Structure 1
Amino acid sequence: MQATSDRTRQHRGRCNHLAGEAAEHSVAMAYDRRGCATAARRWRGQSGEIDLIVRDGDTIVFVEVKKSRSFAQAAARVTRRQADRICRAAMEYVAGEPTGQLTRMRFDVGLVDSVGAVRIVPNAFGGW
């Protein structure tokens, strides 16, 4: 019985991982259509991982991607704790940029619903 439960859990974990990768790809393509260049996917620093980093002109955009049944459910999954972690990781990333901490930055959230539609929420952390 335990082996079946482990296989089910592994299968569910693999499906979730692949769905997350597909959502990140869809959001990256949405930015690409807007003329933004992908700088990094799943960038990892000491403070944590950033799902997607794109360049929008002279601005670096750090994107958290969330997928759920609806845009509202996906948006509700972004927590303050995550936002803080992403901001710390972004500071690590821009340390390698020519203008360092003076680099223009924005924090967006890319939402993906159950049918694969994408909605970008620009400057999503601006109100926090």
Structure 2
Amino acid sequence: MPETREAERRRITERRGRSAEALALMALMLKGYRPLGLRFRAAGGEIDLIVRRGGTVAFVEVKARGTLESAQGAIDARKIARFSRAARAWIGRHPACDATTFRADAVFVSPRAWPRHVADAFPIC
């Protein structure tokens, strides 16, 4: 019985995450970004969204929580390290990309609030 509850919890979390990513992407597109990739996985890390506007490619971490404040607190040093490895892998796989700037952005999502986009939220180390 506990395995069934855990599997159901994972499915619900997965659906919420995908919904938050879709909402974040829509918000970014309204700001003029265009998508380059979704859920890119490499080097032990994952990037939720990869978007571009002008000469900037932004690797975006989407965090959905009950409040915007708790979403902002959900990105820790371990997450940044894994995210950074994946971002470096993406850059290495796309040498023809003519972007002049690469950065790590975050979009925080919570119920009854417009997603909060933070440009250059943390360094790509």
TM-score, scaled to structure 1: 0.87
Per the TM alignment, residue 115 of structure 1 is displaced from its structure 2 partner at its CA by 2.7
Structure 2 CA distance, aligned partners of 1:33 and 1:24?
14
**Structure 2 vs 1, CA of residues 116 and 42 (structure 1 numbering), >3 Å: closer, same or farther?**
farther
1:36 Cα deviation from its structure 2 partner: 0.7
CA-atom RMSD in angstroms = 1.9
Q: 2:23 aligns with which of 19, 23, 26?
A: 26
From 81, 102, 107, the counterpart of 1:105: 102
In 2, distance between residues paired with 1:13 and 1:87? 25
Is 1:77 the equivalent of 2:74?
yes
* 2:111 equivalent in structure 1: 114
User: Structure 2 CA distance, aligned partners of 1:88 and 1:67?
Assistant: 22
Count the aligned residue pairs: 123
Q: CA deviation at 1:91?
A: 1.0
User: Displaced runs of 4+ in structure 1, greater than 6 A?
Assistant: none
1:112 is matched by which residue type in structure 2? V
Inter-partner Cα distance in structure 1 for 2:31 and 2:60: 14
Change (3 A) 1:41 1:116: farther
CA offsets, 1:72-94, max 9 Å, x none?
10010100111122112111111
**How high is the sequence identity, in percent, across the aligned residues?**
32
Give yes or no for contact 2:105–2:119 (8 Å, CA) kept in 1: yes
Residue segments in structure 1 that go unaligned for 5+ positions in a row = none
CA contact (8 A) 2:42 2:85 kept: no
Partner of 1:87: 84
Structure 1 residue 116, shift from structure 2 partner:
5.5
Q: Conserved in 2, the CA contact under 8 Å of 1:61 and 1:107? A: yes
Larger-gyration structure (1/2): 1
- Contact conserved, 2:35 with 2:52, CA < 8 A, in 1? yes
Question: C-alpha separation between the residues in 2 aligned to 1:15 and 1:120?
Answer: 24
For 1:83, what is the secondary structure of its paired residue?
helix
Per the TM alignment, residue 97 of structure 1 is displaced from its structure 2 partner at its CA by: 2.9
